[in-house]
Amino acid sequence: MGTFKHLMLASMIALGSAISPTFAQDLIIGFSKEGETLDPANHRNRETETLLRNVYEGLLTRDASMKLVPEIAESYEQVSPTIYDFRIRKGIRFHDGSDLTAEDVRFTFERILKEGAMGDGQTSPRQGLLGPVTGVELVDANTVRFNLSEPWPILPAMLPNQQIVSKAFVEKNGTAGMATQAMGSGPFSLGEWRRGEALILNRFDDYFGGSPEVPPVGRACVDRAIFRTIPETASRVAALLSGDVHIINELPNSSIRQIQASGVADVVEVNGTRSFFLAMNMQGEIFDDIRVRQAAAHAVNKDLLIDKILGGSAARIEGILSPDAFGASELPQVGYDVEKARALLAEAGYPDGIDITLDAEGAYRDMAEAIASMLTRAGFRTSVAISETTMLTQKWRTAGGPKSGDMWLSSWGNGSLDPFDIFAPTHATNDRGNSAGYSNPELDKLLAAAAIEMDAGKRAEMYHRAEMTIVADQPYVYLWVPRDIYGVSKRVEGFHPSADSRILLHDVCLK
């Protein structure tokens, strides 16, 4: 009888170990925004990249401390100031079972780099993210070479943001098909994309395991990862507390205590890489006067806003760079001074104040209204206009075209934590993120030179000079870099948010 019990117990243990790894588990993320596309080469949107990074992978990635480590690449070396070689890791498969090859890597980057390579004359909107890269060629069956027109020290830092696609899959489906279909080599494959509702991803059991330098290595822990689109903050919080979702992003500071006291979820924070600022339209008749811009800067009490609205979860900035970015240095503070703001307005010809409109997205309504109240107190009678992101982008980020607003509460991400990725886009003449319409030829020259300077010390000094230039010109009211805050169910294990807003689910398990 004892032998029978022993055999039964052994059988149950064996059965349990066979069942548990395949027990159906859905990890559900309440996500604030829907992705724009499933094509890694056809967007410039951080939320879209967050979703796609669970399906596709890059030559390099970053660990939890933001250190660059190989992923699809096994290793890489800088052969010369303008040549980088990447050795492709063997044994990586796409979701259809085909091998990922060096030719797929070459094709991925040529599709981004070449004019009209997306089809129908379309060029990838990500082309600018590859700077002076002129082409990618095969050195041998397992090595790709990046050729640059000039030295560019941050190429490796930009590569985690470029996901590798299958040449055969793209050629079969075309750019139109890539918008709604996906086949990568990541830990999850596409199950279904229900537009406006959810992106459903299935575990890829033949996943090669991921970067050996980001343990644990192996297939994903859960069977499915589901990104539910929940734009309303209150609805995301309610879904987390009810157990309908396991992780939510963009947790507001006002909900932190509620989550902490719930007993069912925790608050997880990480240093962010997104700089917030007020863009002032220098092409208009109000903010073309530096005294008016300086008045606006003195009117905003950044410390109070950080303390009361952001709950202290942000770092104050005086220039565009995050305190954690390469080349960031201590800058003179623009102090909060209502009387000085009013005096500057009067000096500029507005002794009785002036009427302006502050544009903002719905997610930042409370912040915008608080800023508007401060501006009004200093003589800028400010009304807040809430619009969708797409409309604001079309209105303000016109790449050289005229702006049509007064002021915009906006931000720019800097996932590489290198100034190249944020300074030039927001401040170089006619660049894609230059919402202020700012132009300084000397600054343009300085930013261009810093982008190719190989000496780190000299490069850091160049960016310090650049920051001192924009402090003097004040095209923006530089505000803060907030910490990214997530609500996480106590059932979740292994979730480590990234400073560049990626939500990587490979290592995440459910109790």
Q: Do 278 and 205 share a domain, yes or no?
A: no
Banded model confidence at residue 112, pLDDT cuts 50, 70, 90: very high
- Name the token pair of 57: 């992978």
What pLDDT shows up at residue 390?
87
What pLDDT shows up at residue 24?
64
What pLDDT shows up at residue 53?
95
Cα 57 to Cα 59: distance, rounded to the nearest angstrom: 7
Cα 267 to Cα 313: distance, rounded to the nearest angstrom: 12
Does residue 267 form part of some domain? no
Cα 470 to Cα 277: distance, rounded to the nearest angstrom: 13
How many structural domains are present in the chain?
2
| % of the chain exceeding 70 in pLDDT | 95
Q: What is the mean pLDDT of the chain?
A: 92
Q: Do 292 and 421 share a domain, yes or no?
A: yes
CATH number, position 215: 3.40.190.10
Q: Is the pLDDT of residue 17 over 80?
A: no
Q: Is the pLDDT of residue 229 over 50?
A: yes
Is the peptide bond prior to 160 cis by the omega test (within 30 degrees of 0)?
no
Does residue 105 form part of some domain? yes
Does residue 229 form part of some domain? yes
Q: Do 466 and 424 share a domain, yes or no?
A: yes
Other C-beta atoms within 10 Å of 359: how many?
24
Residues belonging to the chain: 511
What pLDDT shows up at residue 444?
98
Contact of 499 with 270, CB cutoff 8 Å: yes
What pLDDT shows up at residue 330?
92
Q: Do 81 and 147 share a domain, yes or no?
A: yes
Q: Do 347 and 368 share a domain, yes or no?
A: yes
Burial class (CB in 10 A: 0-12, 13-18, 19+), 127: middle
Does residue 246 form part of some domain? no
The domain in which residue 372 lies consists of: 274-482
Q: Do 326 and 470 share a domain, yes or no?
A: yes
Q: Is the pLDDT of residue 461 over 90?
A: yes
**Taking the model in full, what pTM does it have?**
0.79
- Of 452 and 356, the structure prediction assigns the larger pLDDT to 356
- Give the mean model confidence (pLDDT) for residues 112-127: 95
Banded model confidence at residue 245, pLDDT cuts 50, 70, 90: very high
Nearest alpha-carbon partner for 292 in 250, 340, 336: 340
What pLDDT shows up at residue 9?
37
Banded model confidence at residue 400, pLDDT cuts 50, 70, 90: low
Does residue 389 form part of some domain? yes
Alpha carbon 196 to chain centroid distance? 21
Contact of 84 with 151, CB cutoff 8 Å: no
- Give the mean model confidence (pLDDT) for residues 246-261: 93
Q: Do 442 and 493 share a domain, yes or no?
A: no
What pLDDT shows up at residue 253?
85
Banded model confidence at residue 417, pLDDT cuts 50, 70, 90: confident
Q: Is the pLDDT of residue 13 over 80?
A: no
Q: Do 234 and 279 share a domain, yes or no?
A: no
Q: Do 331 and 218 share a domain, yes or no?
A: no
Nearest alpha-carbon partner for 42 in 57, 52, 28, 34: 52
Nearest alpha-carbon partner for 163 in 100, 206, 115, 119: 100
Please write the tens of the pLDDT for every residue from 292-343. 999 999 999 999 999 999 989 999 999 999 998 889 999 999 999 999 999 9
List 277's β-bridge partners, or say none. 410, 478
- Name the token pair of 83: 């040549």
- Give the mean model confidence (pLDDT) for residues 136-159: 96
Q: Do 493 and 369 share a domain, yes or no?
A: no
Q: Do 319 and 192 share a domain, yes or no?
A: no
Residue type (1 letter), 478? Y
CATH number, position 429: 3.10.105.10
Q: Do 183 and 299 share a domain, yes or no?
A: no
Q: Is the pLDDT of residue 377 over 90?
A: yes
What pLDDT shows up at residue 111?
98
What pLDDT shows up at residue 467?
97
Does residue 372 form part of some domain? yes
Does residue 266 form part of some domain? no
What pLDDT shows up at residue 21?
37
- What 3-state class would DSSP assign to 466? helix
Q: Is the pLDDT of residue 19 over 70?
A: no
Does residue 6 form part of some domain? no
